[in-house]
């Protein structure tokens, strides 16, 4: 049996973390949560198949995390989905290198479609 595809989520809201984690694990993905963008940047991690980043992290702007991931040779090829409550952030997310944008609140089907598209 093939190993589950790994998704790293950077989200500082515990409730949202858990909802996304439960949904993705229910679909068969392995999920790793970072509550801080700086933790993600400063800690070694096994390169995932996908990053899901909240735009508004407590310690650093999610756009800066996205830029860092896309400038890092080890992660620049990994898709990034940026998540925010502000729809106008989508253009900034794409400019920072995000592959897609998901507006909160979102429906499970929207999340599923973006994750599946990113992992093709």
Q: What is the pLDDT of residues 6-35, one digit of tens each?
A: 999 999 999 999 999 999 999 999 999 999
Q: Is residue 76 part of a domain?
A: yes
E strands within the chain?
A: 6-10, 30-34, 50-54, 80-84, 100-103
Q: What is the CATH number of the domain that holds 82?
A: 3.40.50.2300
Per the structure, the complete domain to which residue 26 belongs is given by 6-60+68-118
Evaluate whether residue 29 is within a structural domain: yes
Strand bridging mode 50-54 / 30-34: unpaired
Tens digit of pLDDT for each residue in 61-90? 999 999 999 999 999 999 999 999 999 999
Q: Does 1 reside within a domain?
A: no
Segment holding 20, helix H or strand E = helix 14-26
Residue 102: inside a domain, yes or no? Answer: yes
Question: How many structural domains comprise the chain?
Answer: 1
With H, G, I as helix, E, B as strand and everything else as coil, classify residue 100: strand
């Amino acid at each position: 049996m093939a190993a589950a595809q790994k998704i790293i989520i950077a989200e500082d809201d515990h409730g949202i973390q858990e909802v996304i984690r439960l949904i993705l694990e229910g679909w068969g993905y392995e999920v790793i949560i970072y509550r801080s963008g700086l933790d993600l940047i400063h800690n070694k991690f096994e390169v995932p198949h996908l990053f899901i980043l909240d735009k508004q992290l407590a310690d650093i702007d999610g756009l800066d995390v996205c830029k860092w991931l896309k400038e890092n040779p080890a992660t620049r090829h990994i898709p990034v989905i940026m998540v925010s409550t502000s729809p106008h952030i989508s253009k900034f997310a794409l400019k920072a290198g995000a592959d897609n944008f998901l507006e909160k609140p979102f429906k499970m089907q929207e999340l599923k479609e973006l994750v599946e598209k990113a992992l093709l």
